[in-house]
Chain A
């Protein structure tokens, strides 16, 4: 059974960089795309972007200038960095696997990690 687990600081100061890692167990990361999705408190889901095992990435245009993702197949991990954060970036951040080639079949999710942006 594939499992995903997010890790990283739960508190980030405004203007700093949010960094999260997702560790995948029970399956290889060398297939499918690996995504980050966030959910601000009381709000809906927002797709941030994906990293593919080959190293290719793509992002939601809304984040494009601030976001970067990477993947480490040797560790079965992928990561998210979001720069210049503000209070609006406070959210539960999920990592999720997309089992299609079409970025809509998110069949495995991490438990989510709340990141609060505050000084």
Chain B
């Protein structure tokens, strides 16, 4: 079971949009619409931002959106704000009642 592949870092200026990719295989990301995204600020607990590929939990700003194409899921943050600077992790159901996370992406707001 290999970790999903994410870029190590992305950056953007306030107000811009950034997209973080999460690439897996047909056995995980591509095989199920069960992808989620987590935001983690330094020293803090991960926070659920997106689930079921594109659904937002209550309280998560509409600036955060998710999508999927084939074996790659994406998290897009529009109207970037300083508080969005954090690490982001994708997660996918991986079949046979297992789960797999991505390696994480550090988002820097310039």
Q: List chain A positions with a Cβ less than 8 A from chain B.
A: 35, 37, 43-47, 50, 58-62, 94, 98, 100, 102-107, 109-112
Contact = CB atoms under 8 A, between A and B. Distances in A.
Interface in B3-45: 3, 32, 34-36, 38, 45
A109 B46 contact: yes
A47 B100 contact: yes
Contacts of B52: 100, 105
Contact of B36 (A43, A62, A104): A104
A110 B46 CA distance: 10
A109 B92 contact: no
Contact of B102 (A44, A62, A106, A110): A44
B101 interface: yes
Given A102-B93, A104-B92, A106-B46, A45 B38 contact: yes
Interface of B: 1, 3, 32, 34-36, 38, 45-46, 48, 51-52, 57, 89, 91-94, 96-104
Given A44-B102, A94-B45, A106-B46, A61 B34 contact: no
A20 B10 CA distance: 35
Contacts of A110: 45
Contacts of B92: 104
Q: Which of B89, B91, B97 has the most CB of A within 10 A?
A: B97
Contacts of A112: 45
A44 B104 contact: yes
Q: Which of A37, A47, A110, A112 has the most CB of B within 10 A?
A: A47
Given A44-B101, A44-B103, A61-B1, A104 B46 contact: no
A67 to B, nearest CB: 12
Given A62-B1, A111-B45, A104 B103 contact: no
Nearest to B51: A105
Contacts of B96: 58
Contacts of B51: 100, 104-105
Contacts of B38: 45, 106
